[in-house]
Structure 1
Amino acid sequence: METFEDKKTYAVYSEFGLSSEAGKYKLSAKGYSGDAGDQLIKHNDQMFAADDADNNSHSTYCCACSHRGGWWFIDCYYANLNGKYYYKHDTFPSNPVGIYWSGLATSFRYVAMKLH
């Protein structure tokens, strides 16, 4: 992840996987290392949710609808790398709908999720 202030940070998971379509692509992320903070641990064992498949753990609120993208939501999230892209730092709202990683209260210029 890279901020608009040129700060680079990362999170690596030694185990990362998704269940099948029948399991609604439940997330499994374990074995964190890095300097960004382990925010996926809070999303662990959550099903993938989108505006047309509201599989989040919040019983009365469509997180994917409000936060503009699919993710493994949990009340609604601590991390969301599929959020809206803001073109500069100062457009990031106090209630984040953008690309977000809790503990790093900023919008990001660049993020990547990579599998080895």
Structure 2
Amino acid sequence: MEDFVGGFVHAEYITFSIEPEFNGYRLLLGNYIDGGAGDSMSYHNGKKFSTFDNDQDNSGTNCAVTHHGGFWFHGCFQTNPNGLYTWGPTPYAIGVMWQSWKGFNYSLKSITMKIRPRLHRSATAIPESNVTTSYH
């Protein structure tokens, strides 16, 4: 994640998976590890993915409509990477948000979700210390 003044943080979780369509694309998230951003994602664990035309959140309103983008809303969110792209300070909770880092009134410059496959360990597996991963 990046803010508009050059700050960078990330949030790392042990696991991340999404259930199939018949389960509403429910989010299954492991424990938060670290990264400086704080844990704004665990609030959404176990929630179904909501969009403007498929309200699956726990709110009395459609969070995807109210907050301008689809996500695993609860009632409504602690993070919203799919909110409106605005510049920095915003009216309450309409932008690209990560509440535990910048609060509800600041829209981030960028946010990226990176998912990698879980390594399956075996007798022939390469030790993690010898594996180099590069994201561009």
After TM superposition, the score normalised by the length of structure 2 is: 0.79
82, 98, 101: which one aligns with 1:101: 98
Code of the aligned partner of 2:97: Y
Give the Å deviation of 1:5.
1.0
**Deviations along 1:29-57, whole A, 9 cap, x unmatched?**
11212211111111000000000000001
What residue is the counterpart of 2:51 in the other structure? Answer: 50
Which structure dedicates a bigger proportion of its chain to strand?
1
Unaligned runs of 5+ in 2: 117-136
Q: Distance in 2 between matches of 1:10 and 1:108?
A: 12
| Percent identity over paired residues | 33
Size of the aligned set, in residue pairs, is: 112
Moved over 3 A (4+): none
Give the aligned CA root-mean-square deviation in angstroms. 1.0
Unaligned stretches of 5+ in structure 1? none
CA distance in 1, matches of 2:46, 2:27: 5
- For 1:35, the equivalent position in structure 2 comes to 36
Map 1:52-91 onto structure 2 (within 5 A). 52-58=53-59, 60-86=60-86, 88-90=87-89
For normalisation by structure 1, the TM-score amounts to 0.92
Rg larger for: 2
